[in-house]
Amino acid sequence: MSQSAKPLGLDSDPLGFLVAPQDGAAFLAQHWERGPVVVKATPERRAFFEGLASFGALARLARCADEEGEPLEFGVDVNAARYVDGKRETPNGEVADCATLDRLYHNEGCTMQFHQPQRFSDDFWRLLAALERQLGCLVGANTYLTPPGTQGLAPHWDDVEIFVVQTQGSKRWRLHVPPPAPAGSPAGGRAQLLSACRLANAVSGDLEKGELGAAVQDFTLEVGDVLYMPRGTIHQACAQDQGSAHLTISTYQRWSAADLLQYTVSVALANHTLQPLLPAPLKAGLPHRWLADAALGAGGAATLAAAAGGFREWDAGAAAAAAAGKGSSKAAKPGGKAGGGGATAGLAKQLASACRSLAECLEGEGELAPRLLQTAADTMAEDFMRSRLPPHPTQLPPRGPAPTLQDSVQCVGAGLFRLVPFHPKQGGGCAPDCDEDHEHGHGHAEHEHGHACDDEDSDEEHEEGHGHGHEGGGGGAAAFGAPPACVRLVSCLHNERMAHMMSGGGEEEGQSGSDDDSGSDGESDEDAAALAAAAGVAAAPARKRKHPAADDGSGSSSEGEDGEDDGEEEGNDEEGSEEEGDEGTPEDLVFPAEFAPALVQLLDSAADAPGGGGAPLPVATIALPDPELQLQVAAVLWDAGVLRTVKATAPAKVPKAKPAKASKESGKTSKGEAAAAPVCHSATPCLVLPDGVATI
């Protein structure tokens, strides 16, 4: 199906599109995390997915990549796998050129596992971007292209919620529920782990046939059918006579209550305004020498040996006694003193007390619980916002011309932006020419939980105690107990599509142009910086990114999957071309905290905002004290792609602008109502605070 033929609900309710005719909300309430569900194809879903993933499409992509001199790579873009005689084989090479892929698929019976096809296919991009927006967490995908009558992967379970969509041929699926662990099974042994696989937070690896138990479900998926499996569902699949191609959509990885708890504690300990308020049991020191006391002892060693199967000729109890030096054939008790169990039990009691104190805090009515959760949520949201897909161009409304005081503005979409409170660094922070990457306010995007990093360049920040700066969502040090002085507007609009869900961080330094032909109305960067500064707005240190154009269906680009998408995306041929030296839109905008109510008001204007949607907001009604600020903030957010302009149909009465006055801090003359709309293209981060201009 052409991307111009927009399936009903694909952008607004992608989950509902996947599980139709059932409603998406009803599906979540009835089936999410509860058990597998098979949804038979609807005509619309079959038409959209048929042929969207196939070996022919992969071969065409590989051929284009070969011709461009940048062939696909095994282990990065694609894996080859086959499951033969109960063993999985992965006969990967180095370069996944077209000839190698053809040989492995047709001659050697290998399944091709293609990673993150949304990097190359507009249809997959649209679907996954819409799902990320709807579910509020990362969504990845792989395609599996399997020759007739073969099986690519061993039985296993995954650590993600999965939707399987058949795109070509058919595939037989068998789902298993392992039997309960036998009585007397070693604690932590294989049998116990198998019986506790529901909602697993880690993948199983390949499972042996004897570990599976009987198949509790056995069915075949045809084109357009969808299978939903909660994480921890043991499954295996085999292509039928015509071969098979399917798309696997995965989400909710490390998105559990335990993960939120980890975020909550880690950011609270790193936040100097929260750590002193934590309950005393959480701040109490650990027992002296507890690491040594809790080391593996005779009892633990015996349990470990038993779980591994032990020696056939030697009683495990005798082995434990020998390890304890007692020469007795009586096994040491796993919780006994010889195994360090006493120290461990004491530590467990202390940890339980700390957890109870945290639970009481979270259930209490004080202000600490909301602050803890808000700070953790800001940290998780910022990681998500920086890692997710940018919206597909067709998922954004036209921006319209630059706004005037007579116009209205509206946020382009709910869930695409996040306001994060933070403290600018004391003393103005970095100089304007600083080249360091202060991406999250903590330097290294991959440190999701606030863990320390090994980068020697960040030693100084760590010594200061705020290297990862979870101060309400990022930033440097501030006066003890001071509220956040600023808010940062984090956006996914300029994320790198080609890096989505790829290992190694994915974010590349590059030069980027705007995806639309806004231009800057001829104003220089210096003028734009001055206008932004006059509005109290700062561009966070800019990381310019490439934003790949949408597929044009020509098949001539290495980013075109299979030539099925026939239509150019508007706006990609003006400034979307990536040339050395192009200016890019700054990823973050920074505002004084006084602007937060106006920013929330503007973000809530999105047509798809929660609670029934918002409405266009007249510029003259933005919650700011004078028309000049109202217009400047509206124009800066319009230039950044956050707002669209709704032209006035009739002249509107607006407050009279104040006369222009010289600013002592900036040395600039403020512009009146009739001035050209400000456009923020500044790469020099600056910030107007009540006491003057600070560089951050």
Using the predicted structure, report yes or no on whether residue 136 has a pLDDT greater than 90. Answer: yes
| Residue 334 preceded by cis peptide, ω within 30 | no
User: With 70 as the cut, is the pLDDT of residue 604 above it?
Assistant: yes
Both tokens of 373, joined, read 């959760």
554 has a pLDDT exceeding 90: no
Cα torsion through 347, 348, 350, 352, rounded to 10: 170
Q: Percentage of the chain surpassing pLDDT 90?
A: 54
Which is higher by pLDDT, 160 or 527? 160
Q: Is the pLDDT of residue 122 over 70?
A: yes
Judged against a pLDDT cut of 60, whether residue 401 lies above it is answered with yes
Question: Where does the pLDDT of residue 314 fall: very low under 50, low under 70, confident under 90, or very high at 90 and above?
Answer: low
Q: Is the pLDDT of residue 332 over 70?
A: no
pLDDT band at 581 (very low <50, low <70, confident <90, very high): very low
286 band by pLDDT with thresholds 50, 70 and 90? very high
Q: What is the pLDDT of residue 243?
A: 97
**Cα(first)–Cα(last) distance of the chain, in Å?**
48
- Selected from 2.60.120.650, 3.30.43.10, 1.10.600.10, 3.40.50.720, the CATH number assigned to the domain covering 14-255 reads 2.60.120.650
pLDDT at position 296, please? 85
Distances from the Cα of 367 to the Cα of 277, 359, 370, 526, angstroms: 10, 14, 6, 43
* Half-sphere exposure for 370 (CA within 13 Å, toward CB): 3
- For residue 243, the SS3 value is strand
Single-letter amino acid code for the residue at 658: K
Q: What is the pTM of this model?
A: 0.75
Higher pLDDT, 228 or 682: 228
For 536-549, write each residue's pLDDT tens digit.
Answer: 444 333 333 333 33
d(CA 1, CA 47): 6
122, burial (CB in 10 Å: exposed 0-12, middle 13-18, buried 19+):
buried
More confident residue, 438 or 648: 648
Q: Do 404 and 651 meet the contact criterion of CB atoms below 8 Å apart? A: no
Q: How confident is the model at residue 341 (pLDDT cuts 50, 70, 90)?
A: low
- pLDDT at residue 207 tops 60: yes
pLDDT in tens, 68-103: 999 999 999 999 999 999 999 999 988 999 999 999
Greater confidence, 668 or 396? 396
DSSP assignment of 582-600 equals -----S-EEEEGGGHHHHH
**Most confident stretch, 167-171, 541-545, 671-675:** 167-171
Tens digits of residue pLDDT in 493-539: 999 999 999 974 333 333 333 333 333 333 333 433 333 343 344 43
Looking at per-residue pLDDT, the higher value among 1 and 681 belongs to 1
- Nearest in space to 421 (alpha carbons), one of 480, 381, 390: 381
Q: Is 499 in a helix, a strand, or coil? A: helix
* pLDDT higher at 655 or 41: 41
**516 strand-pairing partners:** none
Q: Of the candidates 570, 573, 575, 551, which has an alpha carbon nearest to the alpha carbon of residue 118?
A: 551
Residue 304 pLDDT? 78
Average pLDDT, the chain: 76
State the average pLDDT over residues 327-347: 54
Domain locations along the chain: 14-255
> Which of these ranges, 201-205, 325-329, 484-488, 548-552, has the smallest mean pLDDT?
548-552
pLDDT confidence bin for 479, thresholds 50/70/90: low
Q: Containing H/E element for 208?
A: none
Instruction: Give, for 246, the enclosing helix (H) or strand (E).
Output: strand 234-251
Residue with tokens 């091709």: 112
In the three-class reduction of DSSP (H, G, I as helix; E, B as strand; rest coil), residue 62 is classed as: helix
pLDDT tier, 459 (very low <50, low <70, confident <90, very high otherwise)? very low
**pLDDT of 237-281, one tens digit each?**
999 999 999 999 999 999 999 999 998 999 899 888 889 999 999
Q: Which of 53-67, 188-202, 400-414 has the lowest mean pLDDT?
A: 188-202
Categorize the per-residue pLDDT at 399 as very low, low, confident or very high, splitting at 50, 70 and 90: very high
pLDDT of residue 563: 36
Question: How confident is the model at residue 537, as a pLDDT?
Answer: 45
Lowest mean pLDDT among 59-63, 562-566, 616-620: 562-566
DSSP codes, 667-693? -PBPP-TTSPPP-----S-EEEETTEE
596 or 365, greater pLDDT = 596
The reported pLDDT for the residue numbered 439 is 35
